Chain A
Amino acid sequence: QVQLQESGPGLVKPSQTLSLTCTVSGGSISSGSYYWSWIRQPAGKGLEWIGRIYTSGSTNYNPSLKSRVTISVDTSKNQFSLKLSSVTAADTAVYYCARDYPPLAWFDPWGQGTLVTVSS
């Protein structure tokens, strides 16, 4: 079955850009009508949806983060990526990637998550 795995630097300096990649295995990122989402969770807090992308490149972003977020897809590598600019300590969180099934807006499966700390 489809599995997702996040990767990227675990430490980012304030004001810099956070960059993460999600690799999809066990199936093609282009198959089906799925979108691919990023979700984050600060320590001890709840889940926050960041945004999603379709393999055509069509995106939707959380309005609260839209000015700083870019999500892209590389179908040749079966990957999609997140860039979050001008980060602050408030962006410190576990970042998850997940498959987004549009008719239901259902996130399944999820990656294992990767902790990104923003600190100098």
Chain B
Amino acid sequence: NFMLTQPHSVSESPGKTVTISCTRSSGSIASNYVQWYQQRPGSSPTTVIYEDNQRPSGVPDRFSGSIDSSSNSASLTISGLKTEDEADYYCQSYDSSNQRVFGGGTKLTVL
């Protein structure tokens, strides 16, 4: 199995832009789609990005996803930060044996 490594926490001020990385330990990040989930305290995760860079309806375009093959990583970028964006964010992908893997999660603080 592979691992997805995320920073434990990030913080930024309202109105600014923050990027959360997700690095795949083995296998190409570009070979399997990456999803990003937002989880607020006491709630179930919800999708903010699927298929590397697609936003579900209802997710503001302040949220964007990308893939960087050179660093074998995916990134979630949130621009124009709002206090309501404060949450835990998880990346998730899979491999050719149909194993699904989550990153360890990143706590975003908007201060």
Contact = CB atoms under 8 A, between A and B. Distances in A.
Interface stretch (A18-26, A79-87, A102-110): A102-110
Interface of B: 1, 32-33, 35, 37, 44-47, 50-51, 56, 90, 92-94, 97-105
A49 B100 contact: yes
24 contacts: A46-B90, A46-B102, A46-B104, A47-B37, A47-B105, A48-B102, A49-B101, A60-B97, A60-B99, A96-B45, A100-B100, A104-B50, A104-B51, A105-B92, A105-B100, A106-B35, A106-B50, A106-B51, A107-B35, A108-B46, A108-B50, A108-B56, A110-B44, A112-B44
Interface string A51-75: 0100000001011000000000000
A32 to B, nearest CB: 16
Given A106-B50, A113-B44, 11 more contacts: A46-B105, A47-B90, A47-B102, A49-B100, A63-B99, A104-B50, A105-B33, A105-B94, A106-B33, A107-B37, A110-B45
